[in-house]
């Protein structure tokens, strides 16, 4: 235990930072003598180097976390703030699966579990992480073995069965937080129901961690989590300027800390750095793309395996995603947590995430974003793997087009599995959509 904790702390504080600085120096030398970045994009964000360092350290430390500190695997919409005071190292399988999507190894990992009987119609995030568990393959090097599994149904019901499979494999406790679906307004009894589950969660987590939650530390974590969400919102808000200082695709990558490191000071320090750089670019008129002619809204998760190709296709024609519903969700829900009432405010915040609300609420969010970010078009990603996010998009497309007089494209694909994306027809549809703007 002592040796493992020493390895964990060394990876986080000494060895990891040193190796990353050396790697950055080597890359800088390799880049020296090259000309400025070309193509349709603006100058790259300097903050990206810090982002890579922050996430690399998180995954490097994770290799030594089990046996050193308690480890929890959690869904993206889980109230992780309640675990932070107990010293849990949090692993987000969805975040890891997105990394696998960028590395384009999802088909290989998915095949491994499809051969065991899992259907390809299941969420590609679930197939990817179950495949990683079965094969041991991961771009992170190694994921720590969980002591606790935590899932919340505010994003979908698939996570429950996914985490049941993980619990059967690892033979560790599984805690479920069930959030009633919000039709219109939340009902009076819904939030006490969720709050009671959060209190039960903490009781289980305390037994696993072997310690009690310090109320003052919980308050401090809640303060940091709310501040982190506010800072992330300020980063996104810079794209209300013309030209937007970055792209919506950039935002998908830079949202990683608010997902995986929410509640930690390193997360907030990063977003202060990013916000200041983005605000400086706004003042100097530097855009995420060189010639921004049209501003779009993106709904749903990205296609991780095709981000570079799609962003280039759009940027070459002067189209930029000024905002996305998914990145915005991480700014709006988190600011609702209140250090004066950590349990009650967490119940409210995590019940009101975008995927746990009806179509009228979602339409209101998309309509507001399109107006605030001066969008003249929208692309709704009909995501084969995320059915709760995709259901109702035909109606949303028609309402957005009619009420805001914007052009809207419904694009069929998958957020992680390239086998569900026909590149040539899909890119042709995008090209025809852009040509319709004249």
What is the model's pLDDT at position 19?
47
Closest by alpha carbon to 208, among 63, 77, 349, 82? 82
Instruction: Give the pLDDT band of residue 438 (cuts 50, 70, 90).
Output: confident
Residue 432 per-residue DSSP state = H
Burial category of 206 from C-beta neighbours within 10 Å (exposed 0-12, middle 13-18, buried 19 and up): middle
Residue 412 backbone dihedrals phi, psi, to 5 degrees: -85, 125
What residues pair up with 357 in beta bridges, in sequence order? 182
State which H helix or E strand residue 320 sits in: strand 319-324
**How far is the C-alpha of 405 from the C-alpha of 290, rounded, in Å?**
26
What is the model's pLDDT at position 281?
98
CA distances from 395 to 291, 392, 434 (A): 32, 5, 21
Q: For 19-44, how does the pLDDT look when each residue is reduced to its tens digit (9 = 90+)?
A: 444 444 345 444 443 334 458 999 99
**How far is the C-alpha of 77 from the C-alpha of 283, rounded, in Å?**
35
**In the chain, what percentage of residues exceed pLDDT 70?**
91
**How far is the C-alpha of 427 from the C-alpha of 430, rounded, in Å?**
5
Q: Whole-model pTM? A: 0.92
What is the model's pLDDT at position 248?
97
What residues pair up with 177 in beta bridges, in sequence order? 152
Q: For 351-387, how does the pLDDT look when each residue is reduced to its tens digit (9 = 90+)?
A: 999 999 999 999 999 999 999 999 999 999 999 999 9
Q: For 208-223, how does the pLDDT look when each residue is reduced to its tens digit (9 = 90+)?
A: 999 999 999 999 999 9
Closest by alpha carbon to 177, among 25, 349, 361? 349
**How far is the C-alpha of 409 from the C-alpha of 11, rounded, in Å?**
46
What is the model's pLDDT at position 29?
42
Residue with tokens 């280039």: 312
What is the model's pLDDT at position 36?
43
Averaged pLDDT of the chain:
92
Q: For 131-172, how does the pLDDT look when each residue is reduced to its tens digit (9 = 90+)?
A: 999 999 999 999 999 999 999 999 999 999 999 999 999 999
């Amino acid at each position: 235990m002592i040796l493992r904790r020493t390895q964990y702390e060394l990876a986080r504080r000494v060895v990891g930072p040193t190796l990353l600085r050396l790697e950055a120096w080597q890359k800088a030398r390799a880049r020296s003598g090259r000309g400025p970045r070309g193509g349709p994009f603006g100058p790259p964000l300097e903050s990206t180097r810090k982002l890579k360092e922050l996430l690399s350290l998180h995954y490097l430390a994770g290799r030594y976390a089990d046996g050193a500190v308690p480890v929890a695997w959690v869904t993206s919409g889980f109230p992780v703030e309640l675990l932070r005071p107990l010293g849990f190292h949090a692993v987000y399988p969805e975040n890891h699966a997105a990394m696998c999507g960028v590395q384009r190894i999802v088909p290989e990992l998915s095949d491994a579990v499809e051969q065991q009987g899992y259907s390809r119609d299941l969420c590609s995030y679930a197939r990817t992480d179950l495949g990683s568990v079965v094969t041991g393959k991961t771009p992170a090097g190694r994921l720590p073995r969980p002591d606790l599994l935590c899932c919340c149904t505010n994003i979908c019901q698939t996570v429950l069965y996914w985490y049941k499979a993980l619990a059967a494999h690892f033979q560790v406790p599984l805690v479920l937080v069930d959030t009633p679906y919000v039709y219109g307004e939340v009902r009076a009894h819904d939030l006490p129901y969720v709050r009671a589950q959060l209190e039960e969660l903490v009781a289980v987590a305390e037994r696993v961690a072997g310690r009690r939650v310090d109320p003052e530390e919980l308050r401090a974590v809640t303060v940091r989590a709310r501040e982190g969400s506010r800072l992330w919102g300020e980063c996104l808000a810079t794209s209300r300027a013309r030209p937007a200082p970055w792209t919506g695709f950039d935002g998908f990558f830079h949202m990683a800390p608010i997902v995986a490191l929410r509640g930690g000071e390193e997360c907030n320090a990063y977003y202060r750095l990013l916000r200041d750089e983005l605000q400086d670019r706004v003042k100097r008129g530097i855009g995420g793309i060189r010639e921004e002619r049209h501003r779009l809204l993106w709904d749903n998760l990205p296609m991780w395996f095709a981000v570079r190709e799609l962003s280039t296709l759009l940027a070459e024609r002067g189209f930029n995603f000024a905002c996305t519903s998914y990145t915005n969700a991480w700014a709006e829900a988190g600011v609702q947590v209140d250090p004066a009432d950590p349990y009650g405010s967490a119940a409210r915040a995590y019940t009101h995430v975008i995927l746990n609300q009806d179509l009228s609420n979602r339409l209101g969010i998309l309509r507001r974003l399109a107006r605030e970010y001066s969008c003249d078009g929208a692309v709704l990603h009909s995501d084969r793997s995320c059915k709760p996010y995709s259901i109702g998009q035909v109606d949303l497309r028609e309402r957005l087009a009619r009420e805001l007089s914007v052009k809207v494209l419904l694009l069929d694909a998958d957020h992680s599995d390239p086998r569900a994306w026909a590149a040539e027809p899909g890119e042709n549809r995008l090209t025809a959509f852009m040509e319709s703007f004249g």
